[in-house]
Amino acid sequence: MVARVIPVEDFDLVIFGGTGDLARRKILPGLFHRYLAGQIPPEARIVGAARSEMDAEGYRAFTREALQEFAPNSCKDGGQVEAFLAMLSYVAIDARGDGGWKELAGLMRPDVVQAFYFSVAPALFGDLAERLHGHGIATEASRIVVEKPFGRDLESARQLNRGLAEYFTEEQIYRIDHYLGKETVQNLMAVRFGNVLFEPLWNAQFVDHIQVTVAETVGVGGRGEYYDKSGAMRDMVQNHLMQLLCLIAMEPPSKFDPDAVRDEKLKVIRALDPVAPEDIVRGQYRAGEDGPSYLEEVGDPRSTTESFIALKVHVANWRWNGTPFYLRTGKRLRARMSEIVVVFKEPPHSIFGDDAGRSANILTIRLQPDEGMTLQVTIKEPGPGGMRLIDVPLDMSFAEALGESGNQMPDAYERLIMDVVRGNQTLFMRGDEVEAAWAWTDPLIAGWEARRDKPQAYHPGTNGPEDSLMLLHRDGRRWRDLEA
Ligand code: NAD
């Protein structure tokens, strides 16, 4: 099965922060992959814009290196690499000054799609927006892409939204949450709304509980100073885990269009109950054989920022009344693994008797390390000797089921950048969604700050703090094992 690739229309894409880490690792390799897939028209222009002084040739050399490092397997055809690099140019620009803006204006073509990727610190968003307008570069049809973190609380998110809204309408603003660009996350919607099997069962009557895990094995490393100001709640839960929760819990939108989907997600966020203190577990990793502790890495022995958090969350509406959503995310854990697990209730009555065993259906949606879905079903253990039941997985690993095209699934960034050019906002967060997520998050953080709550230490390479296990244990449940 070969994936169908529909070329996008001609465009000018400016990457502010075009020499940064994100551009090197994700944006430029992502664009290159889409180019190789035949999706980018040869006339399209990609303009790097950053503080470093260099010319177009220098930027092409910079990009060549980035592709060799982050997309080595795609660089075998040198001719293709050079053809892609020929689309690139560069402007040395100061987001807070006047240098470079005239030159940028001269490069833009008025008659094609214009997109500006703000791959810079959010403190510069307002400056960029103002100058794009002041220099007459942005038009009413231009699109801007903004990166996380979108604020650190409700007030700062509102300020960012207001700053952008001075110059751009909501239809022009693409707030990236790259989790939404993952193939499996979109597949979650396909599975829910493209089949009759799941949706009738997708509610409190049949679902016992839901687990969302985003586990990392790495620590904060060189990002310590930045990370210590945010922590797992701000860095991961408010955005990525919240988005996953929304897609699992939302009502079926009337159609798959940007506002219909985002309206339903917003309703979920607004239906979230406040979380009781005993339903929040925060942790910090200790030193291990292969690395320093969190406190050593951030260089502050008194830091109370969490590198791990687990929460029991309730969506207080008709569909989910009484079904808990357990969320957890953390660093330096046993395995790098992201997954959504929907645990259905056991059948109400076993006709086979207690000796046969009984268990629940479990739908697992894996996002990392490989993408795929598994549905655990109960069958008869083969062989004579009576009726004993066992669980077997119905595996829907994309790479296997879809052959070649499953292996070549585009990275989230590739997909999302192409959506910007196409003008499709479905997989981007709307301003009110982001604000609603902060409105739920803020009181939880304020609560543990007021209680002077200290995170529980946990050993690296484990499942996180003991209390996180207890969070489910006391409800008679257990987390799925962390395994890669
Ligand atoms: P970075 O520090 O590596 O790069 C910053 C870029 O901004 C550089 O190109 C620099 O030249 C440019 N820049 C800085 N000040 C400027 C100014 N005054 N005028 C013009 N250009 C200026 O940062 P990064 O890691 O690439 O991150 C960029 C954005 O993406 C940030 O908002 C970050 O939070 C977000 N983000 C990054 C990652 C990642 O993996 N790196 C992941 C998610 C989100």
Question: Which domains does the chain show, CATH number per domain?
Answer: 11-147 (3.40.50.720), 180-473 (3.30.360.10)
Is 240 assigned a catalytic role? yes
User: Is the per-residue pLDDT at 408 higher than 70?
Assistant: no
- Looking at ligand 1, which atom is closest to the CA of residue 178? 43
Amino acid 327: pLDDT: 98
Interval 159-176: pLDDT, tens: 999 999 999 999 999 999
Ligand 1 centroid–CA 143 distance in Å is 19
Pairing of strands 308-314, 280-285: antiparallel
Separation of alpha carbons 462 and 334, rounded Å: 5
Are the CB atoms for 337 and 368 separated by under 8 Å?
A: yes
Nearest to 95 by CA among 18, 192, 189, 206: 18
Q: In testing the pocket of ligand 1, which one of 21, 47, 93, 124 has its CB within 8 Å of the most ligand atoms?
A: 21
Across residues 254-270, what is the average pLDDT?
A: 97
* Percentage of the chain modeled with pLDDT above 90: 84
For 135-287, where are the alpha helices, taking DSSP H only? 154-165, 183-194, 224-228, 231-232, 242-249, 258-271
Ligand 1 centroid–CA 20 distance in Å is 5
Separation of alpha carbons 425 and 262, rounded Å: 9
128 Cβ inside 6 Å of ligand 1: no
Residue 3: pLDDT band (50, 70, 90) is low
- Give φ, ψ of 437 to 5 degrees: -65, -40
| Distance (Å) of CA 29 to CA 38, 71, 410 | 14, 6, 11
Interval 348-372: pLDDT, tens: 888 888 778 778 999 999 998 888 8
Across residues 443-452, what is the average pLDDT?
A: 98
Tokens, residue 297: 């890495």
Query: Does 38 count as an annotated binding residue?
Result: no
User: Is the per-residue pLDDT at 480 higher than 90?
Assistant: yes
Worst-scoring range by mean pLDDT, 189-203, 317-331, 348-362? Answer: 348-362
Amino acid 398: pLDDT: 64
Residue nearest to atom 21 of ligand 1 (CA): 50
Across residues 200-215, what is the average pLDDT?
A: 98
Query: Does 148 count as an annotated binding residue?
Result: yes
Tokens, residue 263: 């309206």
Are the CB atoms for 264 and 250 separated by under 8 Å?
A: yes
Ligand 1 centroid–CA 17 distance in Å is 5
Pairing of strands 88-92, 456-458: unpaired
- Looking at ligand 1, which atom is closest to the CA of residue 226? 34
Amino acid 358: pLDDT: 75
Nearest to 448 by CA among 297, 275, 331: 275
Q: Bridge partners of 435?
A: none
Amino acid 407: pLDDT: 52
Ligand 1 centroid–CA 23 distance in Å is 8
Residue nearest to atom 42 of ligand 1 (CA): 22
Give the burial class of 136: count Cβ atoms within 10 A of its Cβ; 0-12 exposed, 13-18 middle, 19 or more buried.
Answer: exposed
Query: Does 411 count as an annotated binding residue?
Result: no
Tokens, residue 412: 């989230």
Amino acid 369: pLDDT: 87
CB atoms within 10 A of CB 23: 24
Query: Does 474 count as an annotated binding residue?
Result: no
Are the CB atoms for 198 and 192 separated by under 8 Å?
A: yes
Tokens, residue 62: 């910079």
User: Is the per-residue pLDDT at 132 higher than 90?
Assistant: yes
Which parts of 83-206 are beta strand (E)?
A: 88-92, 113-118, 143-146, 173-175
Nearest to 267 by CA among 433, 80, 87, 459: 433
Amino acid 11: pLDDT: 97
Amino acid 308: pLDDT: 98
Q: In testing the pocket of ligand 1, which one of 96, 104, 120 has its CB within 8 Å of the most ligand atoms?
A: 120
Residue 1: pLDDT band (50, 70, 90) is low
Separation of alpha carbons 285 and 259, rounded Å: 40
- Looking at ligand 1, which atom is closest to the CA of residue 52? 11
- Looking at ligand 1, which atom is closest to the CA of residue 18? 9
* DSSP type of residue 6: P
User: Is the per-residue pLDDT at 406 higher than 60?
Assistant: no
Separation of alpha carbons 373 and 367, rounded Å: 9
Query: Does 23 count as an annotated binding residue?
Result: yes
Question: What strands lie across the sheet with 337-344, from one edge to the other?
Answer: 389-397, 372-380, 362-368, 337-344, 207-215, 324-330, 308-314, 280-285, 456-458
3-state class (DSSP) for residue 109: coil
50 Cβ inside 6 Å of ligand 1: yes
Separation of alpha carbons 390 and 124, rounded Å: 57
The predicted model scores a pTM of 0.95
